Chains A and B, each alone.
Chain A
């Protein structure tokens, strides 16, 4: 089973693209947190997290995004999630986190 997560950062001025691929679970969430949290501390930064290639995420991953959101409010940055696969999107919907985290509405396929 693939339990890896790859994280790639592309900076364009104040826009920070964080492209993730793999799975976000209890084992990989600490890595995501380590990469994402420092970015949210840059005032004025606009962080776009691309989840197109994330085929599995559990609640531990949601926890990382909640703490990232809290940190953006504290430090004056912005967080947006894009290209979510259906299964991942459903998690944000069930938990109603889509009401407080900005999520783009483009519907993706995925398994």
Chain B
């Protein structure tokens, strides 16, 4: 309280000086006074109070209306002070939460990180960009050194943010724990479906496409759990074909079965996998159609696979008025022998 009283003395002198001289240095010192008050957590209404006291000392015979209006101002400032205090507390809490989320996001990045493997005869490009801090998209490569096969998983958890990210981590660890003998796509999806059905909220589900490429017979086997269909690119005809694979999303019912499909991959052809963050893109009030996405992919398809996926992403990012509602993941795998 000692400092406040000293400040009252100080403030009164400043006010007096200013009223008499209209000197700007008094204004400057008032500014310093405000800063100091803030550092000492002096609330705005206290300053108004000090002002009123000082004014009354200087002019003991203030008109009643002025006196009343000053009290009115004081009351208003008390409410303001309370609201402002609350606002400051919230802002502080918000910044604490933000930093916690960014710690979680970095942890997710580490947990879900995957390495693009070197597989004989394949060129792989992959990009995944989160709409918010934490991603609900996921892709993963599993290279088997014994038989040279490559497993590819691409998945999308519905819902966004932290719950989606947590569900993704669960999926990844379940997949890691499946025995080697169950690496065919339909078995993997059936097992994952049971894990998801038992462990996540009823309104949550996951779509996933799982493919297994075997370079020994150049065959790609795959199954889909309700995932956005990918494309097969015929390089000789410069044409795209939708990869058809029916299957229920993971987590909807316990007994889901997944049909496994197979196809040979020819030299220079590509497998293109994506999430619905790519196909649910919007341009202002309009949706971007799958055909338009193919046109963009076609433009860059002759580039090295990694460059191609990055250029496609940049294309959409550049569009004016474009905004990502969802996480965006795109994978291009080219067979180059």
Contact = CB atoms under 8 A, between A and B. Distances in A.
Interface stretch (A6-14, A44-52, A55-63): A55-63
Contacts, number: 62
Contacts of A95: 207, 226, 248-249
B202 A67 contact: yes
B5 to A, nearest CB: 53
A96 B158 contact: no
B226 A96 contact: yes
Interface string A1-31: 1000000000000000000000001100000
Interface string B201-230: 111110100000000000000000011110
Given A59-B158, A60-B158, A66 B248 contact: no
B159 A26 contact: yes
Nearest to B136: A59
Interface residues of B, number: 27
Contacts of A59: 156, 158-159, 205, 207, 276
B287 A87 contact: yes
Interface string A62-88: 111011011100000000000000010
Q: Is the interface of B mostly helix, strand, loop or mixed?
A: loop
A97 B251 CA distance: 11
Contacts of B253: 100
B203 A33 contact: yes
B204 A94 contact: no
A95 B228 CA distance: 8
A28 to B, nearest CB: 13
Interface in B119-145: none
B205 A66 contact: yes
A106 interface: no
A97 to B, nearest CB: 7
Contact of B205 (A1, A56, A58, A63): A63
A97 B226 contact: yes
Interface string B305-337: 000000000000000000001100000000000
Nearest to A74: B202
A89 to B, nearest CB: 14
Given A95-B226, A96-B226, A67 B249 contact: no
Contacts of B280: 58
23 contacts: A1-B285, A26-B159, A56-B287, A58-B280, A58-B325, A58-B326, A59-B156, A60-B159, A63-B158, A63-B203, A63-B205, A64-B203, A66-B202, A67-B203, A71-B202, A87-B287, A94-B226, A94-B229, A95-B226, A95-B249, A96-B248, A100-B248, A100-B252
